[in-house]
């Protein structure tokens, strides 16, 4: 690493510490406005994990390493990773004010965070760790993408679809250089390819031909297959924006941040194109479905792509005021009302896990109103993570 690069890295680290210090100071000064409900209440250690995880249980590690991705149990997953944008980096998950939204709380991220355990932070890796304590790749805590705590979470805030092939290259390199990973034989799960938010929020309305946003949807899936970094992937795009579009009766400061962070969908300037953009998002989702259902992937034994639709018809849970009026429950959102709070990440992790336990074609498309609203487990009849082919096993 050159001296100049080393200096730049140190500058970024110092800026990150300064911002975190300032935001924490602001948070302390404004602690009277802090909503503790944005964090999932810790689960008592007297409460057992919802699924059996002991040796011989349906979800436990197979006695012999499976040779087919369609016969993977949760305990067979050796490595987890993530690509994506600020939803994968969990920006603002632990925020108590607007300033803290820029902090990347990667250890709490629903699909790749592994901070503490499922009792404190319900995330997919914290669920998988119950079946395989030797799982690697999950993020440990707050960090930038190049820092140790990020591990195999190579997502970066602001990323768009065009950035995914590069992120796939970075992920492959990290895995290849990590002595804990057997690149050829370990089963790897990249459970979140949640991209498209920034394409739609910031670029869809400025392209001369806004259908250009669709151009690179399948390129990065092929890239990851070629690099053999994926054995199993859950794919979701644009679903998060659907949830935000359905927000009703939210505070003025939320409307302001949504206009700033997602001007194409929420800005007044583009209101007349909203119907066109909705159609485009539907087309984006259709490409996802075509990729996931393609024989190109469903017939392979070492690679699978599965669309996890749990956000498709979801909306942010609502609460009633003392007067009986219904409002959006903002405890599920970060302070900018765009990203998820830690409680929101827990709810999303629950939905993602349930989708993995449900057959293709019969997956839930809507979340419950609280984490642990429903928590599915592998069964004796079907102990495997569902793919399009494992439905017939």
Active site residues: 86, 199, 339
Considering only CA atoms, which of 89, 129, 133, 43 is closest in space to residue 371? 43
- DSSP-derived pairing of the beta strands 318-320 and 326-328: antiparallel
Rg of the chain, C-alpha, whole Å: 20
Which runs of E-coded beta strand occur in 31-98? 79-84
Alpha-carbon distances, residue 36 vs 39, 92, 330 (angstroms): 6, 14, 11
Nearest to 186 by CA among 106, 326, 76: 76
Q: How far is CA 118 from CA 44, 69, 110, 181, 192, in A?
A: 11, 25, 11, 24, 18
Q: 120: helix, coil or strand?
A: coil
Task: To the nearest 10°, report the CA torsion of 26, 116, 127, 328.
Answer: -20
SS3 365: coil
The answer to whether 357 touches 74, Cβ cutoff 8 Å, is no
CA 146-302-293 angle, to 5 degrees, is 95
Which helix H or strand E contains 150, and what residues bound it?
Answer: none
Give the DSSP H/E element, type plus range, for residue 236: strand 232-236
Give the CA distances from residue 40 to residues 292, 333, 366, in Å, rounded to whole numbers and listed in that order: 32, 12, 20
Residues making up the chain, counted from first to last = 393
């Amino acid at each position: 690493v050159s001296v100049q690069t080393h200096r730049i890295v140190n500058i970024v680290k110092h800026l990150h510490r300064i911002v975190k210090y300032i935001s924490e100071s602001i948070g302390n000064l404004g602690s009277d406005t802090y909503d503790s409900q944005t964090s999932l209440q810790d689960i008592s250690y007297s409460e057992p994990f919802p699924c059996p995880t002991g040796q011989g249980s349906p979800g436990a590690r197979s006695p012999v390493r499976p040779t087919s991705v369609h016969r993977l149990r949760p305990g067979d997953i050796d490595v987890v990773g993530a690509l994506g944008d600020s939803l994968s980096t969990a920006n603002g998950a632990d925020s108590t004010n607007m300033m803290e939204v820029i902090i990347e709380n990667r250890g709490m991220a629903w699909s790749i965070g592994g901070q503490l355990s499922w009792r404190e932070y319900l995330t997919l890796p914290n669920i998988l760790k119950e079946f395989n304590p030797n799982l690697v790749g999950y993020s440990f805590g707050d960090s930038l993408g190049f820092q140790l705590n990020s591990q195999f979470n190579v997502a970066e805030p602001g990323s768009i679809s065009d950035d995914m092939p590069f992120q796939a290259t970075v992920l492959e390199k990290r895995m290849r250089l990590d002595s804990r990973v057997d690149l050829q034989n370990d089963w790897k799960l990249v459970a979140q390819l949640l991209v498209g938010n920034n394409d739609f929020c910031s670029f869809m309305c400025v392209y001369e031909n806004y259908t250009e946003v669709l151009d690179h949807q399948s390129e990065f899936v092929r890239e990851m297959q070629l690099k053999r970094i994926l054995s199993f992937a859950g794919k979701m795009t644009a679903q998060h924006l659907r949830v935000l579009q359905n927000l009703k009766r939210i505070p003025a400061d939320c409307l302001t941040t949504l206009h700033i962070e997602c001007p194409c969908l929420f800005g007044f300037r583009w209101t007349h194109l909203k119907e066109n953009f909705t159609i485009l998002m539907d087309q984006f989702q259709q490409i996802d479905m075509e990729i996931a259902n393609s024989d190109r992937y469903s017939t392979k034994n070492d690679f699978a792509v599965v669309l996890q639709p749990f956000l498709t018809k979801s909306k942010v849970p609502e609460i009633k005021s003392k007067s009986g009026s219904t409002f959006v429950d903002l405890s599920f959102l970060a302070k900018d009302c765009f990203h998820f709070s830690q409680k929101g990440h827990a709810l999303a992790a629950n939905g993602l896990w349930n989708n993995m336990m449900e057959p293709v074609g019969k997956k839930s498309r809507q979340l419950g109103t609280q984490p642990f609203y429903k928590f599915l487990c592998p069964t004796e009849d079907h102990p495997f993570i569902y793919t399009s082919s494992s439905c017939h096993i």
